[in-house]
Structures are given as C-alpha cells and as structure tokens.
Amino acid sequence: MFSTKGRYALRIMIDLAEQNRSDFIPLKDIAERQDISKKYLEIIAKEMVKGKLIVGASGKHGGYKLLREPSDYSIGEIIELMEGSMAPVVCLEENADECPRLTKCKTISMWKEFYNMEKDFFYNKKLSDLL
C-alpha cells in the first residue's frame, strides 16, 4: 500500500506539469489546488528537491518547478523516492543479503514475477501519461 506521502508527491508532480514550466510555482498555490496541508507539502517537496525530481527557489517569485519534461519522469522513480523499495519481500530489495533459504524457497519465483510486473508497470508509466 502506498502512503499519502507517495500519492501526494504524484499530485505535486502532476500539478507542476500542468503549470507554465518556466515559472516557479508557489507551494501555497499547489496546496490550495490539491486541498493538501501546505506544511505537509513542504516536507514532501523538500525530499523531492533532495531527490532531484524538482527544483525550488525562495523569495518573492519562489516556489517549485520540474527539472525535466513530464515524459522524462517515470511514476516508478517518484514512488520509490518517496516510499522506498517496492520489493514485496526483503530478499528482493537492492543490496539485500542473500537469503539462506533461497535454494529451498518455493515462493521466490512468485515474488520475483510480481516484483517485475510491479516495476514494469510503474517504470513504464510516465508523468505525462497522467496529464
């Protein structure tokens, strides 16, 4: 299940993509349009800046804007930045220690198949597809 953090990050990205991409969009405007607390959006936006999904500027004409074209963002990269790994089981997470039961595991092929379907779905869907 995805948290509000991941879902709201997608809403921010969609909102920014729908605006004039050369302008910085104030977070208060996004918060009003999306009916989300500005304080919560500040936390999310800060993580998105750190993850290089968006860029922020402070001051009178400050706000946020996309760093790339909407077609250059996959939904998977946005979700994983905000939610962490989408791996359904620990042993499939990146840099995970090899599971001592791997050779005996009757379910690993199912988990791998599910994980690949999930990754393919979210990484092949672009932000531009949601506009």
CATH numbers and ranges of domains, the chain:
1-131 (1.10.10.10)
pTM over 0.85: yes
Burial 2-26 (b: 16+ CB within 10 A, else e): eeeebebbbbbbbbbbebeeeebbe
**Cα 20 from Cα 118, distance rounded (Å):** 32
With beta carbons less than 8 A apart as the criterion, state whether 64 and 23 touch. Answer: no
Neighbours of 1 (CB within 10 A): 4
pLDDT tens for each residue of 61-108: 899 999 999 999 999 999 999 999 999 999 899 888 888 888 899 999
The percentage of residues in the chain with a pLDDT greater than 90, rounded to a whole number, is: 82
